[in-house]
Structure 1
């Protein structure tokens, strides 16, 4: 609240109360509608004296854009008015304050909280991008939380509690931005492979090498397909129905894959659900499906080992025929290391990395391989390795899903991640 002698401007239909913040051109107030509903809004008061011709045009463009768009993660412009002194933008009120303050009070945020924030932000950006609109001032101070009881949205800086180019002066900031030094991510907190990959691709200085909007929206860490929503439970249930059907038919591999895909939607459904009893019912179902998936995994593993052994002769023949191709021999050796890692069962992530490394090289070699027996064997080997890699991806995802479902109640920040944040 302001000191003695301060008074907010008068606005038809609203009672302006406390000042929420101010900038060079505008001051934002909390306000109540005078109607029976007593709706709470935020009123952005822009002084006409502070505006030149370009500023007026920018403000009119902002009003035009905000009046035309509606999205759950973009703050809503409800109306606008003007008088001799000010232009008033009547906005949706966000009681949780801005993301910058939210990060400062918590210092750092868990990765799973960051991911849900990022999904909500990406959803808003994708909506704007599809309408050829750029925000141009995207920062934590311009991202609002609709409440503190259910806070969730997130930018990648927030993982470490500081921005990537934190500096004590503008001179130091400019030097860091212009530098060619590789940006090294802090080693703590430990991040998942997908999260670290996205951060590094976003922090690429060369805009031609930096991740594109299309690749950003499709990145596995952003994963908008599995963003918590009202449809998450419906999508999970539909996949479970298919999984049960395949299970009953004895197609255990297909059933396992469908159970894993269903679990990808069950965790967002848990995040979205706010009713405690329904949440517990969903968690109980998740536990059942994870248990069945584990049983199917044992059956599928046994079958896969038999298939891999059957392919040993063809694999040995391919190695024999590749004596004049050192790159092919090396790639096949990496594949053998991946299989050995998988057999150990210690770290599926390491095995998956080796499979992907091998496949990247083998696919290049296949493209250059002339028609013949060696090409046929190489093609068959690649299909086998792709199957193993996809299987491991599903197992890693299932472990993450089970861990996240079990830890839902242990982390207050992730307890209820409904659509509770809006992008200003």
Structure 2
């Protein structure tokens, strides 16, 4: 709901309530129509000041396209308005959030659910292509769900969409890198078929919980797409390399990430011989990950448990600041819980609460020795919180692997 830090714009016909999302040019709010119907809508508020020439053209194309199309799997544009500061797109409200959140909450989607979603997405896409429209920014964040239960997909956010005949070729870079077709990533001419590549990436993410070419830079993404190596083996090759170099922490993290790929592959593989080969790999990676975890945990605990005289000095200097004292006490409680072996979500939450408070206090702290100590303490606490988060993720990955290995070997043809 609306908090003290922001206030939604005012529209005569609507009451704007909670903020649903924020992008570069727009903020989306949930809203109610003031008339008797009390219809619930989503209102995309675009700040005129943030628009450059290209984004104005994109917005006009988005309005033009959405005004002329109606389809059960495409979000409906009900109306649009404007005032001196904003342009407002009044959209159909989708109570189920977006597909990205839906996947994250479930980790992976069952094949039968992914199949239904893909059919609905294909249906919307065929309708668009029949009308010579390419979306050009297909990704889970731009696919909404009509309701939390028994959802229908609704394709949304046509900010990059273009009228394109099947034979039209473009070269302007559009969309989100992780979901871009190779022609776009490699800056070549492309046509309407680039949407089909994005659909494939979305399907992979639905089944495996992450996109196939996760990368830290555009260059790395291009290298991965150009590579003819199997997607899931990249992590293993890198893990083995780090292992051989003696970087136990990095190797452990990579082995656990590899498990996140192999476990769903093990679940869905129907060929008995390939399934057995995957089982052997999963067992091998779990075994090595456990050996590395023992090494990493031992060295990290030794490092983290060393006396910290600066922390004690900071506490002394904070005695006249009750709020700072309270935040430091909360951080100490988190450290104590972690050192007792309670490396769980409650301990992480304590770290995050204390860091949130300490960062606010740092912003208001004048220059001087206390500020320097506070800055250093925040960095230390962030490192501890990140270490704890990584430990929790690794434990979850190993648990998934063990559960998969414990399942009886059987064909998955019953899932078809």
For Structure 1 versus Structure 2, the TM-score category normalised by the shorter chain is: 0.3 to 0.5
